Chain A
Amino acid sequence: MSVRRLAEAAVQPPSFAFSDENAAWAEATILKYPEGRQQSAVIPLLMRAQEQDGWVTKAAIEAIAGMLRMPLIRVLEVATFYTQFQLKPVGTRAHIQVCGTTPCMLRGSDDLKTVCKSKIHPEPFHLNEGGTLSWEEVECLGACVNAPMVMIFQDTYEDLTPKRLGEIIDAFEAGKGAEVKPGPQTDRHLSVPIGGLTTLTEVDEDGSAEETSRGTTTPRSAPAGAEASVPPAQAGRPDTHAAETDPTIAGPGKAKREDSAPAAAEPTTSDKLVAEASRPGSGSEGGTVEGQTGAEEKDAAAFGTTPSDKAPGDARTEGKLRDQEAAAGDAVIAERKLVDNPEGTATEPSRRKTNDTAGGEPFEPVVEAKRKDTSDTSGGSPAKD
């Protein structure tokens, strides 16, 4: 961001007036505010002026100050404070706002900016030769799931590739902006997962199918108790001697566990993990149907099967937290297997691997702390059945 000033006098129009429609709207907007607080309408009015003219002119600032009986400087303060107000002329056919915040940047907004630089102007806030286009980089526009994206007027164009953005710019340049469909520019529907659903793929109807799929995934992980004995991976540990990362210091979670130990029967690790799975919001599956998982073992198992059907390393299981949740999900299955089907205790190698990296000691305090909470609230642990 840079210092924001009004545009130079040469480009300022001599006067400003709301169109009839906008004037009526402005009047109604001003009336929304209680007597003596009409000045609160300054932001909506400035925004409407910008929508009308494309940018906020000096004349508009003065006209709005007059309408609201505000000192000019107060309106100028507002207009210069909010970067959403364009103080210089923008492209008459399109002003492209490229989101450059982290998610979009990670997904390639730099390439989109390169497109804008080559197709419009090397600098943001500058018009192209015809005065029809301009661009700027803006902060997050709230469509991170569909990153990278741009906003033109009030529509967002998402899931962009540099090529597609080029086409969109050309369309607007040609005055055919209205023909471009807003939203995702791929075959994706809204913000559903790229490459199809990763969850809730078999909704509602065919319960038996789920049963069979569960049945087929026989090779299950080892008893959860055994998992916990696997030494934790050290790769992700921060290389520091800071006090808070010293593993010999008991964390608050451990302390809690010691407190609660006499009250409850010695919980097994599998016990804890089952509870973890049934905790509200513990994962994309379990959390949403917490009541069922808590009460009905069968359903819990059904949900638990879903991740095991997926290949390891897909989008859903990226990242540590995901891994941990997956481990918890697996543990549910394992537990059920122990009850239902003692033979199904063989370890599925790929799942094991995930558990190795994630389900170890570093996370244990957290799990324990949460376990205590959930066992209080979930109305009975499945293990007690």
Chain B
Amino acid sequence: MAKIKVDGTEIEVPDHYTLLQAAEEAGAEIPRFCFHERLSVAGNCRMCLIEVKGGPPKPAASCAMGVRDLRPGPNGEAPEIFTNTPMVKKAREGVMEFLLINHPLDCPICDQGGECDLQDQAMAFGVDSSRYRENKRAVEDKYIGPLVKTIMTRCIHCTRCVRFTTEVAGISELGLVGRGEDAEITTYLENAMTSELQGNVIDLCPVGALTSRPYAFQARPWELSKTETVDVMDAVGSSIRVDTRGREVMRILPRTNEDINEEWISDKTRFVWDGLRTQRLDRPYIRENGRLRPASWGEAFDVVKARVSATAPDRLGAIAGDLAALEEMWALKRLMASLGSANLDCRQDGAKIDPANGRASYLFNTTIAGIEHADALLIVGSNPRFEASVLNARIRKRWRQGGFPIGVVGQRADLRYEYAYLGAGSDTLSNIESANSGFYEALKNASRPMIIVGGGALVGEKGGEALAALAALAREIGAVTEGWNGFNVLHTAASRVGGLDIGFVPGEGGKTAAEMASGGVDVLFNLGADEIEIAPGAFVVYVGTHGDKGAHRADVILPAATYTEKSGTWVNTEGRVQTGGRAAFPPGEAREDWAVLRALSAVLGKTLPFDSLGALRRDLFSSNPALGGDGLTPADPSVITTLADRAGTLSGGAFPAVVHDFYLTNPIARASKVMAECSKLAQELHLEAAE
């Protein structure tokens, strides 16, 4: 710790702090453009100038000078800095005037207007007029992809975007070409960016040079209502803020959450919102003579009632999809129980995960923030870049710190960091020691090793065996010890952990999702499961939001709400219980899922014992006390040892890829035009690379 005096108040800050951070700590606001906590220090905007007592008689850039760079006074007094002296004021005014020399005065048509750092800081720290009479510099706009719109004349060359793509996203796509007045931010030959995290440069850009292309000219920040909620595009459960105007979601932004997403979100999370408007199911439908016809809720319920009452309970089934919240899964589970059916499944991908094995066997036990404490990593059957982009950024962050050997078993892919490729599947896993002895040694000798098990290893017949074998491997390398649990399952579906937690899995004698889908049941309640092929024959009641695969196969469609249109609880891959708020209302006659199921239960004569979301949650949490609190409770790691004891010899082939197209993993994304465009670009790139 170092003592430092800021504007006369003495404080103590960690040695590695910069003067800017120390000043913030002391409560002094320092304007800045290029400095960003999560990026390297560039020191090129000069906005953070402060005065250092006894230093050179000129202002110092506080972002680039460390607390320990300052020497104490002659009698050991704490070094002193000032952020409110006339020198600092003059310096800031001068820098601001220079920045504004070439910055266009197009705030009225700029999408950043109202939430622009330059605007705010010019108001707070600038002078009221310009002395510049010459023509301003003009810069050609660049094409850098379908997501990020550029108005490069506005650029102030802070290079945050360049540092973000290089350091966090892990692919050097943006750069500052030219020099001096002619410096320009661009990609190589104006190719589209390929990172899954590129949208974050929009948030990072302190001016309106990089803005959201889909959101361009859509709304002003002050006319949007902001709702804090949870992302469901992957199992990470990023913290997001949904901005709505009236009924429509206008954009989605990240919220800072150090435990999960820091302040990044993936492009799918950010740009999926146009999919919330299209392909929506806004009224019930009934299939008659092979065609779906609009119907009223009453008609639809009556048709369902007729079929359910005519079916034996063990021929009824329910599958929950990837985006379902805890509430509706709980309601559906209660309904199925009261109908007398044990045919439930929330694992439409067929992953061999069983809550009976204990909670630690299916959670990301290390936690996402815990990745930063690990010292070796083995990834099995997963491509975290596509399955959990933000989590992948965390792995990369740890990898950049060095001393973090990474090995991969499964599909070989560009993960944005270097790794040792061990092999394709279970053959490698059973001989991991010989596959790459160097890496195995590193893994074994690590004090906090991690194993990330992805869906690729868990799907298929041998999934259970693989899970047990990996638990045994975790035990072998000492990944599960006192105070450290390095056994992690990385899910891809936001609903998965929650479903497993509340036991949305086949009960006694119940059928799995695959069995139900292939004719095991006569009436199937499909709670937004769009990734599973349901064989002809069964009567499908689809409770969902989009006219996607599930709706096409449905016999009755009960329109429901998307994640932004309901208050829901999701459990992320770490087991973190998070509740999101409702940002908008479902379109047309669509209703929140739990309410649809509650109404249906009344029609079926099995009325569920809750009339409000609050009552439902009380019921849910009293039956599942582990989910009660918002937050994370570590799972008991002993179950991993139990699981490891069951490990036998491993057989089977290569682990398949779980996410084939990052941009099109769920019905909302598939309805999004923006995602379709991204997907097309990515495919073309993939083909080009294959050539």
A:70-115 near B, CB below 8 Å: 71-74, 76-77, 80-81
- B172 near A4 with CB under 8 A, answer no
How far, in whole Å, are A71 and B191 apart by their CA atoms in the complex?
13
Q: Which residues of A contact B8 (CB under 8 A)?
A: none
Evaluate contact between A73 and B188: CB separation under 8 angstroms.
yes
Residues of chain A with a CB closer than 8 A to B460's CB: none
Do residues B182 and A77 form an inter-chain contact, with CB atoms below 8 A? no
Expressed in whole angstroms, the minimum distance between the Cβ of A36 and any Cβ of chain B is 12
Chain B contact residues: over half helix, strand or loop, or mixed?
A: mixed
Given contacts A73-B172, A73-B174, contact A1 B188 (CB under 8 A): no
A2: interface (CB < 8 Å): yes
Distance of A346 Cα from B587 Cα, bound (Å)? 111
A3 contacts B171, C-beta separation under 8 Å: no
Bound state CA distance, A77 and B174, in angstroms? 10
For the residues of A in contact with B, the DSSP-based class is: helix
* Chain B residues, CB < 8 A from A180: none
Q: Is the CB of A2 within 8 A of B173?
A: no
Distance between Cα atoms of A203 and B236 in the complex (Å): 85
Contact B180 A1 (CB under 8 A): yes
Residue of B nearest to A65 (CB): B188
Shortest CB-to-CB span from B480 to chain A, Å, is: 35
- Contact across chains for B189 and A6 when beta carbons are under 8 A apart: yes
Residues in B neighbouring A71, C-beta threshold 8 A: 171-173, 175, 188
**What's the nearest-Cβ distance from chain B to residue A75, in Å?**
9
Is there an interface contact between B175 and A74, defined as CB atoms closer than 8 Å? Answer: yes
Most buried by A among B175, B186, B187: B175
B173 contacts across to A, CB distance below 8 A: 71, 73
State the CA gap A76–B191 with chains docked (Å): 13
Give Cα distance in the complex from A6 to B191, angstroms. 14
Q: Which of A3, A6, A73, A74 lies at the interface centre, i.e. has the most chain B CB atoms within 10 A of its CB?
A: A73
Are the CB atoms of A1 and B171 closer together than 8 Å?
Answer: no
Would you call A76 and B179 a contact (CB within 8 A)?
A: no
**B177 contacts the other chain (CB 8 A):** yes
Q: How far is the CA of A332 from the CA of B99 in the complex (A)?
A: 57
User: Given the complex of chains A and B, what is the CA–CA distance between A274 and B173 in angstroms?
Assistant: 67
CB distance A1 to B182 under 8 Å? yes
Query: Which of A6, A73, A81 has a CB less than 8 Å from the CB of B187?
Result: A73
Given A3-B178, A81-B177, are A74 and B189 neighbors across the interface (CB < 8 Å)?
no
A residues within 8 A CB of B172?
Answer: 71, 73-74
Q: Indicate if B176 sits at the interface (CB-CB under 8 A).
A: yes
Roughly how many angstroms separate A2 CA and B184 CA in the complex, as a whole number? 12
Minimum CB distance partner of A80 in chain B? B177
Q: CB-CB contacts of B405-423 with A at 8 A, as 1s and 0s?
A: 0000000000000000000
Contact A76 B175 (CB under 8 A): yes
In angstroms, how far is the closest chain A Cβ from the Cβ of B365? 34
**What separation, in Å, do the CA atoms of A80 and B179 have in the docked complex?**
8
Could you tell me if B177 and A76 are in contact, using CB atoms closer than 8 angstroms?
A: yes
Q: How far is the CA of A73 from the CA of B177 in the complex (A)?
A: 8
Partner of A2, one of B171, B174, B176, B182: B182
Tell me, in angstroms, the Cα distance from A100 to B179 when the chains sit together.
20
Complex interface bits, B168-207 against A, C-beta within 8 A gives 1, otherwise 0: 0001111111111010101111000000000000000000
Q: Which of A4, A72, A74 contacts B178 (CB 8 A)?
A: A4
A4: chain B residues at CB < 8 Å are: 177-178, 182
- Distance in angstroms between the alpha carbons of A77 and B157 in the assembled complex: 14
How far is B171's CA from A196's CA once the two chains are assembled, in angstroms?
A: 62
Contact B182–A76 (Cβ < 8 Å): no
**Which size class do A's interface residues fall under?**
10 to 19
Contact assessment for B188 and A3 in the assembled complex, using a CB-CB cutoff below 8 Å: no
Measured CB to CB, the nearest residue on chain A to B166 is A71
Distance from B193 Cβ to chain A, minimum over Cβ atoms (Å): 11
Contact of A80 among B171, B174, B178 (CB under 8 A): B178
CA A4 to CA B187, docked complex, whole Å = 14
In the bound complex, how far is the Cα of B186 from the Cα of A81, in angstroms?
Answer: 14
Complex interface: chain B residues within 8 A of A73 (CB)? 172-175, 177, 186-188
A58 surroundings in chain B (CB, below 8 A): 189
Of all chain B residues, which has the CB nearest A75? Answer: B188
Tell me which residues across on chain A come within 8 A of B189, comparing CB atoms: 6, 58, 72
A55 and B188 CA atoms in complex are apart in Å by 19
A3 and B184 contact, CB distance less than 8 A: yes
Tell me whether B177 and A77 are in contact (CB under 8 A): yes
A72 surroundings in chain B (CB, below 8 A): 188-189
Task: Report yes or no: B180 in contact with A77, Cβ–Cβ below 8 A.
Answer: no
Chain B residues contacting A6 (CB-CB under 8 Å) are 189
A3:B187 contact, CB within 8 angstroms? no
Q: Which of B135-176 contact A (CB under 8 A)?
A: 171-176
Q: Considering the chains assembled together, what is the distance between the CA atoms of A221 and B184 in angstroms?
A: 64
Closest to B140 in A: A3
B175 contacts A77, C-beta separation under 8 Å: yes
The CB with the most chain A CB atoms within 10 A, among B174, B184, B187, B189, is that of B189
Give B182-235 interface residues, CB cut-off 8 Å to A: 182, 184, 186-189
Closest residue to B184 on the A side, CB-wise? A3
Contact mask for chain A residues 55-74; partner B; CB cutoff 8 A; 1 contact, 0 none: 00010000000000001111
A1-13 contact mask (Cβ, 8 Å, vs B): 1 or 0:
1111010000000
Let me know if A81 and B179 touch, CB within 8 A.
Answer: yes
Per-position contact with A for B594-630: 1 when CB-CB < 8 Å, else 0?
A: 0000000000000000000000000000000000000
Contact indicator A81/B178 (Cβ below 8 Å): yes
Per-residue CB contact flags for chain A residues 335-366 toward chain B (1 = under 8 Å, else 0) read 00000000000000000000000000000000
Contacts of A81 in B (CB 8 A): 177-179
Smallest CB separation, B386 vs chain A (Å): 21
Q: Which residues of chain B have C-beta atoms less than 8 A from A76's C-beta?
A: 175, 177, 188
Give Cα distance in the complex from A58 to B189, angstroms: 10
> What are the residues of chain A within 8 A of B175 when measuring CB–CB?
71, 73-74, 76-77
Minimal Cβ-Cβ distance residue in A for B174:
A73
How many Å lie between the Cα of A1 and that of B179 in the bound state? 10
A43–B621 alpha-carbon span in the complex (Å): 64
Most B C-beta atoms less than 10 A away, residue of A1, A6, A74, A80: A80
Instruction: Write the nearest CB–CB distance from A88 to chain B, whole angstroms.
Output: 14
Report the bound CA distance from A4 to B175 in whole Å: 14
- Give the distance in Å from the alpha carbon of A4 to the alpha carbon of B179 in the complex: 9
Closest beta carbon of chain B to A138's beta carbon, Å: 15
CB neighbours of A74 from chain B (8 A)? 172, 175
Q: Which residues of A contact B184 (CB under 8 A)?
A: 3
CB-nearest residue of chain A to B187? A73
A4-B172 Cα distance, complex, nearest whole Å: 20
| A76-B187 Cα distance, complex, nearest whole Å | 10
Nearest A residue (CB) for B137: A3
Contacts of B174 in A (CB 8 A): 73
Closest-CB distance, A38 to chain B (whole angstroms)? 15
CA distance A3 to B153 in the complex (A): 13
- B322-372 with Cβ < 8 A to chain A: none
Bound complex: CA A236 to CA B171 (Å): 61
CB-CB under 8 A from A2, the residues of chain B are: 182
Closest chain B residue, CB of each to CB of A61: B188
Nearest A residue to B178, CB-CB: A80
Q: Residue of B at shortest CB range from A1?
A: B182
Q: How far apart are the CA atoms of A3 and B180 in the complex, in Å?
A: 10
Interface string of B237-249 (1 = CB under 8 A from A): 0000000000000
A3 and B177 alpha carbons, distance in the complex (Å): 9
Nearest Cβ on chain A to B168's Cβ, whole angstroms? 15
A3 → chain B closest CB, angstroms? 5
Q: In the complex the two chains form, what is the Cα distance from A330 to B45 in whole Å?
A: 55
A171 to chain B, nearest CB (A): 34
Q: Beyond A4-B177, A81-B177, list 10 extra A-B contacts (CB 8 Å).
A: A1-B180, A4-B178, A4-B182, A6-B189, A58-B189, A73-B177, A73-B187, A80-B177, A80-B178, A80-B179
Q: What are some 16 contacts across the A-B interface (CB < 8 A)?
A: A1-B179, A1-B180, A2-B182, A3-B182, A4-B178, A4-B182, A6-B189, A58-B189, A71-B171, A71-B172, A73-B173, A76-B188, A80-B177, A80-B178, A80-B179, A81-B177
- B interface with A by C-beta (< 8 Å): 171-180, 182, 184, 186-189
Q: Which 6 pairs from chain A and chain B are nearest by CB? A: A71-B172, A73-B175, A72-B188, A80-B177, A73-B188, A3-B182
